[in-house]
Amino acid sequence: MTTITLVQGDITRQSVDAVVNAANSSLLGGGGVDGAIHRRGGPAILAECRKLRASHYGKGLVTGRAVATTAGELDAQWVIHTVGPVWQGPGSDSSLLASCYRESLRVADELSARTVAFPAISTGVFRWPMEEAAHIAVETVRDTEAAVEEVRFVLFDERAYKAFAEQIR
Ligand code: ADP
């Protein structure tokens, strides 16, 4: 059984086996969580991302999929990069957002990671409404069979924390 925990804070400060990155398909860095992970994790992460681009991920990472690299200098073993969908307005298809959580957990299981920190994927630059994103995130983790012991949602601000807390009451 996977236990869900919530903390308000910076995902790059977590001590966990794997940190999930809200990456973009280029795998070559960006803003938000992505920028913070590469800044604190150092150049080893980008170096592995470049190798992925040069091998199996020539066109980058597809939305809804996940792939792992070293976590560099973060207090973690791995960064699991996943690409969330951009919100397209009311009625947006949430299946790719759910897939990010499912695929990241699948990769975490492959690595035998026991503790995994997730950000609120797609709720930044990709504009997904926080309440809806929180619902999809929690529901998907609950519905996914995984050996991971703890999924820790790391919410950057109080608004995000409250939205997730609503979902696990
Ligand atoms: P996306 O492109 O998937 O929308 P972002 O990185 O822009 O990803 O934002 C995802 C969420 O992560 C947003 O709610 C944002 O406030 C939050 N966030 C940004 N930096 C951090 C951080 N260092 N730790 C945890 N959450 C963060």
Residue identified by tokens 């503790």 is 115
With a pLDDT cut of 70, the percent of the chain lying above it is 100
For residue 1, what pLDDT is reported?
85
- Pocket test residue of 123, 125, 159 for ligand 1, highest count of atoms within 8 A of CB: 123
Q: Which two tokens stand for residue 82?
A: 């996943």
For residue 132, what pLDDT is reported?
98
For residue 169, what pLDDT is reported?
84
pTM to 2 decimals?
0.98
Percent of the chain that is helix, strand, coil (3-state, to 5)? 40, 20, 40
The three-class DSSP label of residue 21 is strand
**Regarding beta strands 78-83 and 18-23, do their DSSP bridges make them parallel or antiparallel, or are they unpaired?**
parallel
Where the chain has pLDDT below 50, the residues are none
Give the domain extent around 72: 3-167
Strand partners, 5: 152
Which of 159, 125, 121 is CA-nearest to residue 138? 121
Total Cβ atoms within 10 A of residue 19: 31
Q: What is the domain count for the chain? A: 1
Is the CB of residue 18 less than 8 Å from the CB of residue 77?
yes
Cα 23 to middle of ligand 1, angstroms? 10
Q: Give the CATH number for residue 128.
A: 3.40.220.10
Query: What residues line ligand 1, using a CB cutoff of 6 Å?
Result: 10-12, 22, 31-34, 36, 84, 119-126, 154, 156, 160
